[in-house]
């Protein structure tokens, strides 16, 4: 089979498509013929050895797949060859076949394409865990979403609206603002690109404050970090919840006096650990996502697809923050 391999730490230009032996499922595992693999920000980090997980090389990046079960390992029940499956795998998805734990697999609903299926779990499961479990988002509350045109950002916008919130989307360009509004945002604001000096941060904080209103944001969803974090925190309301989701703009340092003055919470969101520690709760969230998907309240937006040979381009686009929604690599044109 073919796989896009990382043989040494580096950027997307270091990845190479190579022929490798087909894997075989062990006990409790499924062999999946991968049809589509979504690209996410961890793919940018993992090939540079900057992610919390460092798989042994050579390895294929790609942590979110859709495909068909090709073989079932010993002791696995409920799955048969030909079943359509989606899963979050951590890495290994940029290959024509891979082995996954059966417990990590969910059935791809009928009528959904492999590309759509590959783009659902990581972003939407992260966002629903963040907003419901960590953010305690309630009807009529105000939600500020940074990076609102990315995959996880658009998911947060849609899920915020599905939970009855007023959603303010913050993005870096007019076309991204249009995408956020199309996803249901009540308001979209365009912020300048950092880094910022102190005056720039003050101006950004005022932009956020004006957008969320005098009471401040009840929940702030931040998958961006960097110089955007402190200005966003300054726009939080009394007893608000600031959700730390990711750091493509860098790891910020927050002045903790702001948390005292606003009596607010700064909440880390680590969906992968949550899903591993509480599979029942995660499965309930996924069931809820399938229902919202069926009702048309959420819909993964795929802005571009790539063949395996060009998967490095997709990772580059995500690294450079040029993507709107999700980028997906498809195998065999499926």
**pLDDT tens readout for residues 176-197:** 999 999 999 999 999 998 899 9
pTM: predicted TM-score of the whole model, two decimal places? 0.93
Phi and psi (nearest 5°) for 288?
Answer: -65, -40
Which residue from 123, 186, 128 is spatially nearest to 323, judged by alpha carbons?
A: 123
Domains located in the chain, CATH noted? 2-120+300-330 (3.90.180.10), 123-270 (3.40.50.720)
Across the range 60-76, mean pLDDT stands at 97
Across the range 222-242, mean pLDDT stands at 97
pLDDT at 44: 95
Rounded Cα distance between 171 and 26, Å, is: 45
pLDDT at 196: 93
Rounded Cα distance between 297 and 290, Å, is: 10
pLDDT at 308: 97
pLDDT at 334: 43
CB-neighbour burial class of residue 281 (10 A; exposed 0-12, middle 13-18, buried 19+): middle
Rounded Cα distance between 4 and 92, Å, is: 9
**pLDDT tens readout for residues 240-249:** 999 999 999 8
CB-neighbour burial class of residue 199 (10 A; exposed 0-12, middle 13-18, buried 19+): exposed
Task: Check residue 223 and report its DSSP letter.
Answer: S
**pLDDT tens readout for residues 248-283:** 989 999 999 999 999 999 999 999 999 999 999 999
Q: Across the beta sheet with 265-268, what order do the strands follow?
A: 187-190, 166-171, 142-146, 217-222, 236-244, 265-268
Which residue from 130, 96, 101 is spatially nearest to 274, judged by alpha carbons?
A: 130
**pLDDT tens readout for residues 8-40:** 999 999 999 999 999 999 999 999 999 999 999
For 164, the token pair is: 């009855």
Rounded Cα distance between 203 and 193, Å, is: 12
pLDDT at 322: 85
Across the range 295-315, mean pLDDT stands at 96
**pLDDT tens readout for residues 211-226:** 999 999 999 999 999 9
**pLDDT tens readout for residues 129-155:** 999 999 999 999 999 999 999 999 999
pLDDT at 307: 97
pLDDT at 176: 96
**pLDDT tens readout for residues 89-120:** 999 999 999 999 999 999 999 999 999 999 99
């Amino acid at each position: 089979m073919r796989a896009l391999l990382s043989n040494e730490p580096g950027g997307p230009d270091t990845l190479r498509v190579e022929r490798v032996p087909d894997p075989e499922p062990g006990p409790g595992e499924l062999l999946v013929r991968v049809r589509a693999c979504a690209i996410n920000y961890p793919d940018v980090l993992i090939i540079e050895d900057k992610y919390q997980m460092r798989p042994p090389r050579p390895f294929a990046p790609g942590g979110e797949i859709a495909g068909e079960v090709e073989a079932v390992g010993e002791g696995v029940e409920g799955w048969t060859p030909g079943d359509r499956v989606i899963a979050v795998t951590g890495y290994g998805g940029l290959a024509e076949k891979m082995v996954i734990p059966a417990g990590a697999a969910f059935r791809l609903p009928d009528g959904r394409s492999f590309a759509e299926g590959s783009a659902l779990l990581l972003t939407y499961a992260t966002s629903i865990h963040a907003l419901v479990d960590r953010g305690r988002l309630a009807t009529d509350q105000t939600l500020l979403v940074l990076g609102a045109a990315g995959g996880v950002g658009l998911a947060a916008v849609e899920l915020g609206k599905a939970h009855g919130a007023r959603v303010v989307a913050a993005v870096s360009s007019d076309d991204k603002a249009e995408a956020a509004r199309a996803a249901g945002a009540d308001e979209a604001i365009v912020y300048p690109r950092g880094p910022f000096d102190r005056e720039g941060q003050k101006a950004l904080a005022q932009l956020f404050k004006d957008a969320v209103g005098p009471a401040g944001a009840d929940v702030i969803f931040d998958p961006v970090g960097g110089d955007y974090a402190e200005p966003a925190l300054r726009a939080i309301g009394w007893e608000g919840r600031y959700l730390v989701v990711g750091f493509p703009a860098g790891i910020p340092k927050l002045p903790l006096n702001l948390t005292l003055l606003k009596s607010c919470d700064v909440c880390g969101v680590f969906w992968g650990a949550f899903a591993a520690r509480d599979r029942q709760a995660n499965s309930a969230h996924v069931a809820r996502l399938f229902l919202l998907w069926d009702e048309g309240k959420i819909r993964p937006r795929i802005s571009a697809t790539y063949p395996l040979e060009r998967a490095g381009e997709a990772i580059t686009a995500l690294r450079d923050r040029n993507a709107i929604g999700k980028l997906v690599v498809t195998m065999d044109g499926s």
